[in-house]
Chain A
């Protein structure tokens, strides 16, 4: 069987400007942050990003890599809650928003995973989601009657992805992988909606060890769903990847505060984002020791 292991930088080398990428996790939870940092090291730009947004979209906005965002929300999940770089991109009008209900995002990924053009959903009707999308979001009328009328529902279009990035707790070198925390989020759907599928894991272990470590229903990802596997310990930092580690609240706060001025942000970039992943992890360890 294929050994799909590669490095962060080799993996993202196949990402091209203008692509539509999906990023797994949720808010500041189990985000594939090592992949995001690898994307920051490339000159890729004009990305369309599909995400339950957190500091992933924030960091991509900080580097001006984002053209358009499809999202249900953007949250850091703890104070100051609003991501400062996403806010800057929005208030400067530099990104196009396709804001939607949280359930619509899952619905669009499900449509893509099922190779359908759309799926009907109630969420979105009557709200300004329709104004955010304009002609890109249409409705569909049921051919079957309901209560003597015909329901007109949102026709959520498939969110087809050129590439998807997800981070799991444990995996093997073929791309079988498990979450060991409390919530799978929607990582399986991101992979199934994408042409190129990138998985990072805290630890790569033999298949036998993987399946012994978790109940079968925690094996969310199978090898049909993955093209590349990267071992990235602490790869979701500074988001949570429980039970391996919690969110690094102090560092997240430092990230958010550093966005306040050009000077503090340049300092943050110099310290954390100007080397490779090992440099980042070393600097983060140093930050932790100083706290």
Chain B
């Protein structure tokens, strides 16, 4: 076994988001998740669809930033149709996430007079109400994992109205951070630890999260990459090691 970096563990944890995903479009919004999605396609999830980040569906699974053969066309209008159709799993970044999975990438502060402006809500409301949504956080901290998000861009489990069937497709699936893997199968759909990365103890997660995470002391250890996976990550997918830039600790 070669020695494994934290970023490589994270890349494999991101790939695991797409195990058994079937023939759907996977939309990774950051480099780390792109590495994971490409790894999944080259190994256990060959049927997922990936784009070049613009409007082409990739037939090949090239290295990050490299061009490859294409198999189709996916302009922004068709992305909106695909997400309403539900055949998609998006992994977004997040400036803030709360215990129910509400996410903010819009702005900090009051809605009409923010202290800091980011992107606005982007596609987060439509993603989260239509299909599987996960998050990647490279810097697990109290600032990100907070009690209450300033702007609800991606909706969390507590926003689901059980009397309104329009909410039936909500699937806020997982969060992968630099410290571990989490889902929302704690009490009342709150955040729960699935696994902590090798070398991360529960107290470290506790100290860096504003709310209580369920199952923290019972969490498994995130699996290590196999030698084949490591080779794919290092040689085929991310030879420039761009994955290391998205991670702290």
Contact = CB atoms under 8 A, between A and B. Distances in A.
Given A102-B126, A126-B161, A182-B55, A87 B120 contact: no
B84 interface: yes
B108 to A, nearest CB: 10
Contacts of B54: 182-183
Contacts of A122: 84, 126, 129-130, 166, 169
Contacts of B128: 126-127
A97 B111 CA distance: 8
B166 A125 contact: yes
Contacts of B125: 100-101, 104, 123-127, 129
Contacts of A183: 54-55, 75-76
Interface string A163-185: 00000000000000000001111
Interface stretch (A8-16, A42-50, A88-96): A88-96
Interface in B67-92: 73, 75-77, 80, 83-84
Given A126-B155, A185-B76, A147 B123 contact: no
B121 A127 contact: yes
A137 to B, nearest CB: 12
A19 interface: no
Interface stretch (A72-80, A230-238, A247-255, A260-268): A72-80
B219 to A, nearest CB: 29
A86 interface: yes
A96 B121 contact: no
B120 A72 contact: yes
Interface in A100-130: 100-104, 106, 121-129
B139 to A, nearest CB: 17
- Name B's interface SS: loop
B45 to A, nearest CB: 26
A127 B159 CA distance: 8
Nearest to A150: B165
B116 interface: yes
Of B54, B76, B118, B167, chain A has the most CB atoms within 10 Å of the CB of: B76
A184 B77 contact: yes
A219 to B, nearest CB: 15
A131 B121 CA distance: 12
A93 to B, nearest CB: 4
B114 to A, nearest CB: 6
A82 B117 contact: yes
Interface string A126-166: 11110110000000000000111111110000000000000
B155 A125 contact: yes
B118 A82 contact: yes
Contact of B76 (A26, A74, A125, A132): A26
Interface residues of B, number: 48
Nearest to B78: A183
Interface string B128-159: 11100000000000000000000111110001
Contact of B167 (A86, A87, A121, A126): A126
Contacts of B120: 53, 71-74, 99
B63 interface: no
A98 to B, nearest CB: 10
Contacts of B118: 82
Interface in B89-133: 106-107, 109, 111-126, 128-130
A87 B117 contact: yes
A104 B165 contact: no
B234 interface: no
Contact of B164 (A26, A81, A96, A152): A152
A127 B119 contact: no
A133 to B, nearest CB: 10
B168 interface: yes
A125 B168 CA distance: 12
21 contacts: A53-B120, A71-B120, A74-B120, A90-B107, A93-B112, A101-B126, A104-B126, A106-B80, A121-B84, A123-B123, A123-B130, A125-B164, A126-B167, A127-B125, A146-B166, A147-B168, A148-B165, A149-B163, A149-B164, A183-B54, A183-B76
Interface of A: 26, 53, 71-75, 81-82, 86-87, 90-93, 96-97, 99-104, 106, 121-129, 131-132, 146-153, 182-186
Given A101-B126, A128-B153, A129-B121, 17 more contacts: A73-B119, A73-B121, A90-B107, A90-B113, A92-B113, A99-B121, A100-B125, A101-B125, A121-B126, A122-B126, A126-B129, A127-B159, A146-B165, A149-B165, A151-B165, A183-B76, A185-B75
The 5 nearest A-B residue pairs measured at CB = A123-B126, A126-B159, A93-B113, A126-B155, A127-B125
